[in-house]
Amino acid sequence: MSSIVTTEGILHYEVDGRGKAVVLLHGWLSSWGLWRNTMLTLSNERRYRIYALDFWGFGDSAKKSVQSFNVTSYASMVEQFMDKMGIDQAPIIGHSMGGTVSMKLALDCPSRVQKVAVVGSPLAGNSLNVFLKLGSFRIIANLIWRAPSALLLGLKVFSPILAQDGQEVYEILKRDFSQTTVEAFLRSIGSLWRTDLRPSLRQIGVDVLGIYGSGDNIVNPNQAEVLKDNVTRAQIKMMTRSGHFPMLDEPELFHNTILAFLAE
């Protein structure tokens, strides 16, 4: 387990491979662990050194500074990480909230981002499922924290809707839910809901890959069209057999798509 000290405390990350740096960012209520198979696949190419980060408030990163649990702060967190690791510029790959942060970083610090891949990511927060939006209300978040078994039961029931291998998704979310806090839970999803990158997207001058599952019921797949219509150098891969987790639903196609994009 590796970590660095940032302005908001410990930032945990995992690393694998040798070669060109690639940064992976996880989604809401998740952690670096979602990227395990992707890290193995990319590092096996022997061309990439893969860094998978835990956002503040999630996984094994710091959870004390509640003001840092938002999209803008997370973009700053990635920049701090790159500074500490001596990474001048790198491709950034983000799932769900992680993709939104990747695009925010490309807007705020364009010189640090070589290219971006977003996976099931909201560019406009209103594309989130209504049940995720409810998590940004403190009364709802507090209720969930008082009855975690009810949330876990709900995740178990609905996990087959989230991905083809519902049990795998359930185990991932169960593990990662146990590592977060109520403040990280409600503040990060509230920030994601309030984020709307559409007015700024035309400023992005790097290549952007959007991977979306046509069966995604967490983030509306129409975000692929938003990306295509507003980013000049955007390409879209719609995965017809995937939901919100294409890396789990169609791993071979997903990883081949990522590798081709990195090699361009």
| pLDDT tens track for 21-52 | 999 999 998 999 999 999 999 998 889 999 99
**Secondary structure class of 94 (helix, strand, coil):** strand
What per-residue confidence (pLDDT) applies to 131?
A: 79
The residues with which 4 forms a beta bridge, in sequence order, are 11
103-117 pLDDT, tens digit per residue, is 999 999 999 999 999
Calculate ∠ Cα 125-131-137, nearest 5°.
80
Please name which of 231, 221, 225 lies closest in space to residue 103, comparing C-alpha atoms: 231
pLDDT (0 to 100) of residue 150:
67
Q: How many residues does the chain have?
A: 264
Residue appearing with tokens 């096996």: 44
Give φ, ψ of 220 to 5 degrees: -60, 125
Quote the CA–CA distance of 120 and 113 in Å, as a whole number: 19
Q: What is the pLDDT of residue 174?
A: 80
Identify the segments of the chain with pLDDT beneath 50. none
Give this prediction's pTM.
Answer: 0.94
Residue type, 72: T
Please choose, from the candidates 95, 43, 97, the residue with its C-alpha nearest in 3D space to the C-alpha of residue 69: 97
CB 120 within 8 A of CB 99: yes
Q: Among 83, 79, 68, which residue's Cα sits nearest to residue 25? A: 79
CATH for 2-263? 3.40.50.1820
Whole-number pLDDT of residue 158: 65
pLDDT of residue 181: 86
Give pairs for 68-74: CB < 8 Å, separation 24+. 68/8, 69/183, 69/184, 69/187, 69/188, 69/191, 70/187, 70/188, 70/191, 71/97, 71/100, 71/101, 71/104, 71/191, 71/192, 71/195, 72/104, 72/108, 72/191, 73/8, 74/25, 74/101, 74/104
